[in-house]
Homo-oligomer: A and B are copies of this chain.
Amino acid sequence: MASPELIVVGSVALDTVTSPAGSVTEALGGSATYFSAAAAILARVGMVAVVGEDFPAEHLTTLSERGVALDGLETAPGRTFRWKGAYEEDLNLAITYDTQLNVFETFEPKLPALWSDTPFVFLANIDPRLQLQVLDMVPGTAFVGADTMNFWIEGKREELSRVIARVDCLTMNDAEIRQFSGEENLLAAIDATAGLGPEYIIVKRGEYGAMLWHAGDLFLLPAWPLGRVTDPTGAGDTFAGGFFGYLASQGEVSPTTVRHGLVLGTVLASFTVEGFSLTGLLAVTPAALARRVTEFGAMTAVTGTGPVLPAP
């Protein structure tokens, strides 16, 4: 297989999730998993992560059949990372019952030698200390994105700030960027964070869509209107995977590719939340994706003339 156009470094997890729609136990999850399963629809993606010796082989098959390059997926002694959580009425809010880092406690990311000239790199939500290690390994020419979460904002603000200062593109949800910046108003929060250095900031707003900041300009995109949400887990990682997957597939970062990329991320995330674990995302066919992208174009085109987006 040709070397990847896009690398993601992040977590692979076994998730136990309860939502109003039901529950799953030790299902395939993790930030790098959702990201790569989404990105692989659009581009050649390779994953850098770690699993324990207990990781079910069938999950490797799932990712591999999806086209995700697993050369960078290490198996370490011990147990796989586990997360246990629930969603109640407010599906925007995950309640964490238990987090077991397990093999992630001692993880040191390693980039396969053949991947060293990969042009797009995404540092999914993991310890900023690891994100900094990866930043030292990737070439200066790569377009690098990073995600994070409240846990690191609270516990590792200094390392996280150094990550943010070194990446091209930061993704955070609205609560996180407010928390990180100390600014309640979203524009003020973006301004304060942009001062650290990233060229692009994407604020994820859950069911309310996303906001992209670049060099003082804003782009606003609504979310896909969902009639049914089964499990919101992985929506943000899917969104980022669709966005970076599209950029990698086009090979360039331009005003048009970033906007189309956000549409792909938004639409792919709508599939993820329709099922537990990866079931919704894995069921996406090219035809189903193209149909929803076209519908989304029609739903958001101010000209009212229908589709404005090329199918991916």
Contacts and interface: CB of A to CB of B under 8 A. Distances in A.
B211 A208 contact: no
A106 B309 CA distance: 54
Interface string A279-312: 0000000000000000001111111110011000
A188 interface: yes
Nearest to A188: B227
A308 B303 contact: yes
A185 interface: yes
A235 to B, nearest CB: 16
A187 interface: yes
B187 A227 contact: yes
A101 B222 CA distance: 38
Nearest to A190: B225
Interface residues of A, number: 38
Interface stretch (A112-120, A123-131, A147-155, A254-262): A254-262
A255 B302 CA distance: 9
29 contacts: A89-B184, A185-B227, A185-B228, A186-B225, A187-B225, A187-B226, A187-B227, A208-B208, A208-B209, A209-B209, A217-B298, A218-B299, A219-B299, A220-B225, A220-B299, A220-B300, A221-B222, A221-B300, A222-B222, A254-B304, A255-B305, A256-B303, A256-B304, A259-B303, A263-B302, A297-B302, A300-B300, A300-B302, A303-B308
Shortest 9 CB-CB contacts between residues of A and residues of B: A220-B222, A255-B304, A256-B304, A208-B208, A259-B304, A187-B227, A218-B299, A220-B299, A259-B302
Given A209-B209, A209-B220, A217-B298, 8 more contacts: A185-B227, A186-B225, A188-B227, A220-B222, A220-B300, A255-B304, A255-B305, A263-B302
